[in-house]
Structure 1
């Protein structure tokens, strides 16, 4: 990608961030940066690759005249984004004593129970733990869902404990093991079963996996090739 193309792509994603932030203006809960990242989808990875910055850093260095980052919580480690014209003091009452995330669970799984819902049902992808919200009528057959009643409000007291309780309730309802969603259990999105890539990953230890580099075309071939 040329420098001009890269600059155009960065500007496009920046405008998308502005549009998404304005779309959430007036929401009853602050628009968390974690929720913004989810809505950006693949553009978030593109932005990081082009700028070598995380989302918070990019907003602070490139968009500070148009949007404002606010930090919530007793430790000020829950980050939300608001329009630059809004008064950040209006969100002071939403600061709570809990941390936004529990390192015990994968951050995307934790976010599924902490990012405010935008529709009736939350649909969770069990493979990569991404999620989206949809009307009940649009939920695909067999989809893994999370009731929005289990999503804890940003201003809830003892929020961490309530999120843990929601997760425990959901795990009990679905019968899925907690270990499946812990950090360290999902370091990678699993390839299709029976592929050569799966066989290679299984055969290598953690140190070998860290030192192995494959081009995307090689990965594509390995994914398509069944084990012999």
Structure 2
């Protein structure tokens, strides 16, 4: 999950190999971005990018200026904790109301509000982005990594490679292809030097972190 005030993005990343990478090639650094063990782009579900520009942001369906609960659910082929991962679902709870992730609304992508292998293949096809996610094993591979154990990390960060334009601006800059518009931030925004000098005291509060069975970690009032 990455998010700023204008746009959220849920993005699983698949890896073809377990264990640490050992150099620029296997780590996918620089020009070797698509040669590494793991899919660096991931399969992102960004509501603005895929047809729901009025879903998330100040004063929108999910008001990013108000406190919210963000729920991520991992669904399996047999609805058990040991099944193969087949979908990732995002739910918001705000002001006592449960808000389902917005449906996609882009030609060439079957209407959905979940991340599935089908969605990932379709969105890579219509955007023209490399489908490293599928090539690295898709959701099944990501599910195996979850089974192996992951650490939950919260961070506030900036991006020295692309100024975070891939999250909530137009990226690649100047592109008008499907999926290039990811949010309304200016393409000149997000420079780390600007962020660190102008928002040095930026902060976010995370609280009441829970995990558990599907639909057990939240409730509407």
Instruction: Please give the TM-score of this superposition, normalised by the length of structure 1.
Output: 0.25
Instruction: Please give the TM-score of this superposition, normalised by the length of structure 2.
Output: 0.26
Higher helix share: 1
Higher relative contact order (CA 8 A, sep 6+): 2
Decide which structure has the larger Cα Rg and report it: 1
